[in-house]
Amino acid sequence: MHKRAIAAIIILIAPFFAGFSYFGVERIMLRMESHSLQAGRAAGLTAELFYQSLDGRLVTRLEAPVNQVMITNRLGELTIYDPEKNTVYRTQSLEYSSENNLIYYFLNGKTQDMGLAEMGFTRQKVEFDGALMITEWMPPSQLNHLFSHIELVHEDYMPIYAGYFDAGGKLVKKVYYSEYEIFADIILPMRLTEFNYLPGGDSIINRVILSEVRMNRRAVSSWFDFEIPEDANIID
């Protein structure tokens, strides 16, 4: 399993899935396309995602560049299954939690801070530029070695930009949220564009596109209940 594939999925969803029942969304399925560019090299990833709010179970069916199935839950228990080799890999980390994703913030009314308050960040400044609200968030002491601050920009109460500044005050990541669509119970950005600036002057550009969003009764698929075969071989 490519680490890049795992990272792309976590970025899409780090900061949409837990707490759906609060907004009347009990299950959701959608397609995701991720494209990245670094040093002139392009890479892509396509997948289908299936989430149920009752148990926080997220099933990701990767189509390309690998044919694999990823299953995770709220506890960050991650299982990766390769149907061609009939092998399974298991690990656990909070970063893999089905609640550690973009949809979580949108469906739990956390779009004003994008989960920063839960991480211990505190809002220090609020400025307005026409229809834009710009806020600055300071990190907790245990994160001072990673960030000096994070900047969020909202328009019509929806986030459109996030800027991450390292401990030295240098902008190291920019994220743009765009192409919002209004559904029965929620509003979601269908495009996420991220710029990561590397120390050597290079950068990585990631673009994630969502499509074919279906919820509740319209979200019908056997993949919601997919289970790893009992005879799958466990690998390290």
Per DSSP, the residues of 145-173 read TT-SEEEEEEETTEEEEEEEE-TTS-EEE
Q: Looking at residues 18-24, what average pLDDT do you find?
A: 51
Decide if pLDDT at 116 tops 50.
yes
Please report, as a single letter, which amino acid is at residue 9: I
Please report, as a single letter, which amino acid is at residue 5: A
Percent helix, strand, coil in the chain, to 5, is 15, 50, 35
CATH number where 185 lies? 2.50.20
Please report, as a single letter, which amino acid is at residue 57: R
pLDDT in tens, 59-87: 999 998 889 999 988 788 889 999 999 99
pLDDT: is 24 or 194 the higher one? 194
Q: Looking at residues 159-177, what average pLDDT do you find?
A: 94
pLDDT: is 201 or 230 the higher one? 230
- Look at residue 216 and tell me if it is in a domain: yes
The domain of 16 spans: 3-231
d(C-alpha 92, C-alpha 211), whole Å: 29
Decide if pLDDT at 4 tops 60.
no
- Look at residue 83 and tell me if it is in a domain: yes
Q: Looking at residues 38-50, what average pLDDT do you find?
A: 88
- Look at residue 236 and tell me if it is in a domain: no
d(C-alpha 129, C-alpha 125), whole Å: 13
Decide if pLDDT at 19 tops 50.
no
Decide if pLDDT at 163 tops 80.
yes
> How many domains does the structure of the chain reveal?
1
Across the chain, mean pLDDT equals: 84
Give the pLDDT band of residue 183 (cuts 50, 70, 90).
confident
Long-range CB pairs of 216-225 (<8 Å, 24+ gap) are 216/24, 216/25, 216/26, 216/27, 216/28, 219/27, 219/28, 219/29, 219/50, 221/29, 221/50, 223/29, 223/48, 223/50, 223/59, 223/61, 224/27, 224/29, 224/50, 224/52, 224/59
Give me the pLDDT at residue 40, please.
83
- Look at residue 125 and tell me if it is in a domain: yes
Decide if pLDDT at 193 tops 90.
yes
